[in-house]
Amino acid sequence: MKAMTLLTSISAMLAAMVWAGVYISPVEMILFPAFNIGMICCMAVLLKNVRREEDSP
């Protein structure tokens, strides 16, 4: 969960820097949002597989 929130904040910071006209490396513009999307997908899979105690075999 911590990684997802940190990557989201870094992606938002990158967007704000682009909006302000600050030069950002194209690598940063690709990697951080890509990692963020990957982390969101992993978190969705993790939460999808959480079971309640009464549902367990």
Contacts of 12 (CB under 8 A, 6+ apart): none
Domain spans of the chain, in order of start: 2-50
**d(C-alpha 1, C-alpha 4), whole Å:** 5
pLDDT digits (tens, 9 = 90+) for 24-54: 999 999 999 999 999 999 999 999 988 877 7
Cβ-proximal residues to 11 (8 Å cutoff; 6+ apart), any chain: 32, 33, 36
Per-residue model confidence (pLDDT) at position 33: 92
Q: What local confidence, expressed as pLDDT, does residue 50 receive?
A: 87
Residues 37 and 4 sit within 8 Å (Cβ to Cβ): no
Coil, helix or strand at residue 12: helix
